[in-house]
Amino acid sequence: MPVDTTTEPDEVAGADTTRPRRRSSWSRGPSRKWRSRWRWQSRLNWAKITPYLLLLPAVLLELLVHIVPMVIGIWISFIKLTQEYIQHWGQAPTAGLSNYRIAVDFSGPVGRSLLESFKITCLYTVVVVAFSWVIGVVAAWVLQRPFFGRGPIRTLFLVPYALPIFAGVIIWNFMLQRDSGAINELLVNNLHLVHHRPFWLLGNNAFFSTAVVAIWRQWPFAFLMVMAGMQSIPNDVYEASSLDGAGSWAQFFHVTLPMLRPVNRVLLLMLFLWTFNDFNTPFVLFNNSVPPSADLMSIHIYSNSFQVWNFGYGAAMSVLMLLFLLLVTAIYLPLANRRSRSVT
């Protein structure tokens, strides 16, 4: 995607500046051909180079911020970077593929736990993306028509997204505490739904707690994107459909949703990538000791590299995760593109 967006403008710029000039230089006749060609070429070169020169700072920064760390990460995955070499990375012995072999050896303890973490992350991603998207779409649909108090409600809905992650998640941590948390206070003392105070941050409940907090954080983004998308749907489509006798439901399913498809295509991909990579929610929610049921990939990688001082493993797992995400994206984008093209 980024390649397309960056090359398109200079393609256009190059075409605009070179084409007319080329014609005019050829029409001047053969006698001054060599001089004009020299001038034309030097002009053309500048014209060709300028856009790249303008792009150069961005490219360098992109290299510095994205590509270089990525290359270093890939390099680390091929060396034995342990405490002995952490100070002099360059001297760490090469590991070949051994880090990868250990990571994907699903009969060994490291590989087995990685596979387990991968499954948990997939489930987590499906749950979080599905709920965030549905809640976001419903909220945007409900708030589409003007009514008294719509502005403040819209703002209120965006609060979870606007809050700093740490502040939001740590408040959930307080609320989900077993003895002093607001959730148990409500369930046990006020509503008397359960007798024994459940643990929300231990055991299997931890998975649901993390998912709920992540949905709480993500859905306002879905809401925002869908709301923007809905505002670009022309009103006459709705008018036409209501003349044909379509009710609200029919309009939602046959007008709104199909016309939101371009927005949803990008939105779902972004939600997927963010959720699959989610590190902050479990890390802050569990104070750095994440229970196995919420052992998401990024947390798993962190504890297998930073916490046990073996950066080779962690890097190899990161590369595997990156490859997986690339694969999913590479399959998803053409599929989604084809579908949205066939509709319009």
Interface with another protein (CB under 8 A): 3, 7, 11, 14-15, 52, 59-60, 63-64, 67-68, 71-72, 75, 82-84, 86-91, 108-110, 113, 177-179, 197, 199, 201-203, 287-289, 291-292, 303-304, 306-310
CA–CA dist 282, 128 (Å, integer):
13
C-alpha to C-alpha distance for 257 and 246, rounded to whole angstroms: 14
DSSP state of 77: T
Angle in degrees, CA 229, 231, 233, rounded to 5: 80
Please report how close the Cβ of residue 87 comes to another protein at its closest, in angstroms. 5
Q: In the complex, what is the shortest distance from the CB of residue 212 to another protein, in angstroms, rounded to a whole number?
A: 18
> For another protein, which is the closer residue by CB, 23 or 145?
23
Query: CA 117 to CA 122: how far, in whole Å?
Result: 9
Using DSSP's 3-state secondary structure scheme, residue 200 falls into coil
Apex CA 207: angle with CA 209 and CA 112, to 5°? 160
Closest to 127 measured CA to CA, from 288, 22, 281: 281
Token readout for 291 is: 């229970």
DSSP per residue over 254-267, as a string? IIIHHHTHHHHHHH
Amino acid identity for residue 299 in this structure: I
| CB 134, min distance to another protein, A | 31
Q: Quote the least distance from Cβ 92 to another protein, whole Å.
A: 10
> Residue 20 or residue 203: which is nearer to another protein going by CB?
203
State the alpha helices, DSSP H only, in 27-91. Answer: 33-62, 68-76
- Least distance (Å) between residue 80 CB and another protein: 8
In the complex, minimum distance from the CB of residue 326 to another protein, in angstroms, rounded to a whole number: 16
Q: Which of 42, 165, 113, 88 is nearest to 314 (CA)?
A: 113
Nearer to another protein, 79 or 224 (CB): 79
Nearer to another protein among residue 60 and residue 130 (C-beta): 60
Q: Smallest distance from the beta carbon of 156 to another protein, in angstroms?
A: 31
What torsion, rounded to 10 degrees, do the Cα atoms 275, 281, 283, 285 define?
-150
Q: How far is the CB of 57 from another protein (least distance, A)?
A: 13
Smaller CB separation from another protein, 59 or 186: 59
Please report, to the nearest 10 degrees, the dihedral formed by the alpha carbons of residues 143, 144, 148, 153 taken in order.
30
Q: 241 near 251, Cβ under 8 Å?
A: yes
- Residue 303's CB is within 10 A of a number of other CB atoms, namely 17
Q: Which is nearer to another protein, 82 or 242 (CB)?
A: 82
Using the minimum distance from each CB to another protein, give the nearer residue, 84 or 239. Answer: 84
Minimum distance, C-beta of residue 119 to another protein, in the bound complex (Å):
16
Q: DSSP characters for 171-189?
A: HHHHHT-TTT-HHHIIIII
Q: How many CA atoms lie within 13 A of 123 on its CB side?
A: 14
Pick between residue 56 and residue 134 the one whose CB is nearest to another protein: 56
Q: Which is nearer to another protein, 262 or 292 (CB)?
A: 292
